[in-house]
Amino acid sequence: MGAPVPAAGQRQVAKKVPVPTNYRNAVKYVRLAVEQRLNVDAQIEQDKHFRCGRTLVGRVLSNLPKIDALYGQLELATKEPRLDVCMARVLIAELMFGSGRLVGNSRPVECVRQYAEQLQSALATVEANAPAAGQIKGTAGRLFVLRMGQRKKGGKRDATAAIAATTAPEAAATERAVSAPSSDDPYTIPLHSRQAAFAILWLLVYSFAMFTLPFGAFYGTRHLLAERFAIEGFHNTCGSVLAAVLTVNVIIMLYAFRGFREVEEEDRERPRFVRLNTSVLNLEGSRRLLQEEQWILVEEQFADYRAFLERVKTLGEAEYLEDFHFADLLVFPHSAKSFWARATHLHGQFVLQNKACLLPTYLLKPTKKSVVLDMCAAPGLKTTHLACLMKNKGRIYAVERCAHRYTTLCQYASEHGVIKTMHRDCLDLTDEQVPGVEFILLDPSCSGSGMLKRQQVPEPMDEPRVYKLAGLQYKLLSHAMNAFPHARRIVYSTCSLYQQENEGVVHGVLRHNGHFRLLDARKEFGKEWLNVGDGDAYPGIGERCLYARTEDDLTIGMFVAVFERCPEGYENEVYRAHEKQKESYERVALRYGITGKEGQQQEQQQQVEDAGAGQEATGKGSKKKAGGKRAAAEPEQQVESASGEADVVQKKRKKKSKQVQEA
Ligand SMILES: C[S@@+](CC[C@H](N)C(=O)[O-])C[C@H]1O[C@@H](n2cnc3c(N)ncnc32)[C@H](O)[C@@H]1O
């Protein structure tokens, strides 16, 4: 088998290296599927010791025609008679369509490895000869079934579809065509249309049930009670109504149950993110550890972020990816949740943390040995990530005011000498207590509307609460900008999707703090990112802030804004515009003999009227502009509310407005 033959008289003492268990197991199932035409799906599912079975076996079966073509083209049957054909299939699949490398030095592995280059060049010919989508119409009915299976089950795609394909070799031969349906295939129904059709169908079924079954239950029970048990009158009616009510409730429960099931299905697309604790483990080490746990690293290259996300959605149950953006983040399928819950022996090296939470820490970009302040630190996931990014050098002050959360923070921080925890209110903090702070992370309490649970069971916005939170967030951000004279970069983040807590707060704070400016977070990030804030409602602000969105990024919802101290003598544009406006208010005030703030009220009123007139004249465009102005005015109002001035100001405004009208 290609292994060097020992020279005459030379004794060979080489120990026989065993073939890795995963490969041996895969060979067993491939043999059953290919030679005996068995559906091994259920068997693999039950084989708890072969967790990566779906991926390994699926990979062979879904590429079987190409693998066999490669096997034939290289004449492996004659050149390597001792190499078992199923073993060859598994190893070629791994090498050409899987991780791209083989584990260990067993003889079959060494044997296939030596053909790696030849296999690579032969693959181009084999792929060129593979049948195109147009050629598969004869088996289109079967392919339709395959597509349904592939799209619906996501992570289970490989094995299920491939095993079905194995039972029909002609269908398997078109695996490539299956994964890229052609527009001229009449059997392909777009996924969204199919989902909508099913939703409507189910709705019809339930409404039909709702309008028929309770009546059936009512009259059936009435009849039964009267005929069989001779119960008439009031008792009969009670029994019949009870039966109808029970039926209604059962239907409602079934409907709700279906809803929960759908949420679970959606969950399945969401990955489990795991961060490396780079203080104790590097990427290479993580690969080794995970391989020992039978995880398979998908080493594909992605053209862009969207292509990566699509691959994440179809991760096999034993596969994982290294993240597209962050080198210290790994992406596992949703089903890995239970593995990570059990794998307590790995919790020191790996940290369960959502990808969105890495945006603020990466964007803070603390330099080596710098002084960082994490104003709202507990439980400390971002703090410990900062410690890793800073390679445990410099100083991180981690502040938390809530006692029990502070205890958790201390536990997390205990491994990182660079973190100094402080149990206090960060609004009382001054530069003397945390000397020389240059970088500030502010991740304050928020409504949490971006958390998955809140998104799955949406509830209406609690406006007074959000209003209050925005006031507090404004106060904290203002404090960050003013209490620490050496602060040069501030990152503000929330796990809220409400603009009031995000762009609104940023706008309010820029307006009153000319010495900090808002950076373009997308540019600062330096990599492809999909979502930014609302630039229509908050021009010059929205488009500079980042959002992570569950529906796109498969993460929790998160907002991030990055501020930088302005150079000497420079003030941010929002502040300058506001100052200019204030001057114009003062001029109005002088004209009418009222105070500056009241002048502002007059001017704003005039602007709204102007916008209204413009809207009438120009339609939609002007309406948007007016909306933008109104939205932009919100944080100002929130600040006033936070300091308890709002009512007084309102009353004064009304009174003076009346006076001016009279004048
Ligand atoms: C969203 S959590 C922070 C999460 C944390 N950054 C992480 O990634 O693990 C907000 C925290 O800020 C704390 N907090 C809120 N206001 C505070 C204040 N004025 N001073 C200190 N901590 C505060 C809350 O108790 C809460 O633990």
CB 413 near ligand 1, within 6 Å: no
What is the bridge-based pairing of β-strands 296-297 and 371-374? unpaired
583 is in an annotated binding site: no
Q: Are residues 211 and 301 in the same domain?
A: no
Task: Check residues 140 and 215 and name the one with the higher pLDDT.
Answer: 215
- Say which DSSP state 426 is in: G
443 is in an annotated binding site: yes
d(CA 364, CA 441): 7
Helices (H) and strands (E) in the chain, counts: 29, 14
Q: What's the pLDDT tens digit per position in 577-595? A: 999 988 888 888 888 877 6
Mean pLDDT, residues 305-327 taken together = 95
In the prediction, which pLDDT does 603 show? 58
663 within some domain: yes
Q: What's the pLDDT tens digit per position in 377-406? A: 999 999 999 999 999 999 999 999 999 999
Q: Are residues 340 and 278 in the same domain?
A: yes
Q: Is the peptide bond before 18 cis (omega within 30 degrees of 0)?
A: no
Q: Are residues 512 and 641 in the same domain?
A: no
Decide if 402 is catalytic. Answer: no
Mean pLDDT, residues 101-120 taken together = 90
Active-site pick, 52, 86, 388, 495: 495
**C-beta separation of 487 from 431 below 8 A:** no
| pLDDT band for position 130 (cuts 50, 70, 90) | low
Q: Evaluate if residue 4 carries a pLDDT over 70.
A: no
In the prediction, which pLDDT does 265 show? 66
d(CA 232, CA 117): 87
In the prediction, which pLDDT does 658 show? 56
158 is in an annotated binding site: no
CA of 444 to the centre of ligand 1 (A): 5
Strands (E), 468-572: 489-494, 516-519, 531-532, 546-548, 558-565
| pLDDT band for position 98 (cuts 50, 70, 90) | confident
ipTM topping 0.95: yes
CA of 474 to the centre of ligand 1 (A): 14
| pLDDT band for position 641 (cuts 50, 70, 90) | very low
In the prediction, which pLDDT does 260 show? 74
Q: Are residues 344 and 379 in the same domain?
A: no
CA of 400 to the centre of ligand 1 (A): 6
d(CA 110, CA 651): 85
Provide the mean pLDDT of the chain: 81
Domain finish residue from 301, 328, 352:
352
Q: Are residues 218 and 112 in the same domain?
A: no
CA of 377 to the centre of ligand 1 (A): 5
**Ligand 1 atom nearest 374 alpha carbon:** 6
Domain finish residue from 307, 330, 352:
352
User: How many domains in the chain?
Assistant: 5
Q: Is 421 helix (H, G, I), strand (E, B) or coil?
A: strand
| pLDDT band for position 376 (cuts 50, 70, 90) | very high
Strand partners, 412: none
Q: Evaluate if residue 356 carries a pLDDT over 60.
A: yes
522 within some domain: yes
Mean pLDDT, residues 181-195 taken together = 48
Q: Are residues 42 and 95 in the same domain?
A: yes
14 within some domain: no
Work out the burial of residue 145: count CB atoms within 10 Å of its CB; fewer than 13 is exposed, 13-18 middle, 19 or more buried. middle
| pLDDT band for position 168 (cuts 50, 70, 90) | very low
What is the DSSP code string of 20-51?
Answer: PHHHHHHHHHHHHHHHS----HHHHHH-TT-T
| pLDDT band for position 34 (cuts 50, 70, 90) | confident
**C-beta separation of 472 from 446 below 8 A:** no
Q: Are residues 170 and 198 in the same domain?
A: no
**C-beta separation of 559 from 533 below 8 A:** yes
Query: The domain spanning residue 447 has which CATH number?
Result: 3.40.50.150
CB 472 near ligand 1, within 6 Å: no
9 within some domain: no
650 within some domain: yes
Q: What's the pLDDT tens digit per position in 79-90? A: 999 999 999 999
554 within some domain: yes
Query: 163-167, 255-259, 351-355, 411-415: lowest mean pLDDT where?
Result: 163-167
Task: Check residues 421 and 200 and name the one with the higher pLDDT.
Answer: 421
CB 442 near ligand 1, within 6 Å: no
In the prediction, which pLDDT does 129 show? 74
Domain finish residue from 132, 156, 178:
178
Q: Are residues 338 and 470 in the same domain?
A: no
> Residues 216-247, buried b or exposed e (16+ Cβ, 10 A)?
ebbeebbeebeeeeebeeeebeebbeebbeeb
In the prediction, which pLDDT does 610 show? 44
Q: Is this structure's pTM higher than 0.80?
A: no
Work out the burial of residue 406: count CB atoms within 10 Å of its CB; fewer than 13 is exposed, 13-18 middle, 19 or more buried. buried
Q: What's the pLDDT tens digit per position in 438-480? A: 999 999 999 999 999 888 877 889 999 999 999 999 999 999 9
628 within some domain: no
- Domain extent, residue 150, equals 21-178
Mean pLDDT, residues 203-213 taken together = 90
Q: Are residues 155 and 87 in the same domain?
A: yes
Task: Check residues 266 and 501 and name the one with the higher pLDDT.
Answer: 501
CB 398 near ligand 1, within 6 Å: no
| pLDDT band for position 196 (cuts 50, 70, 90) | confident
632 within some domain: no
Q: Are residues 495 and 373 in the same domain?
A: yes
What is the bridge-based pairing of β-strands 296-297 and 272-276? unpaired
Angle at 434 between CA 432 and CA 436, to 5 degrees: 85
Q: Are residues 152 and 202 in the same domain?
A: no
Q: Are residues 254 and 329 in the same domain?
A: no
Query: The domain spanning residue 344 has which CATH number?
Result: 3.30.70.1170
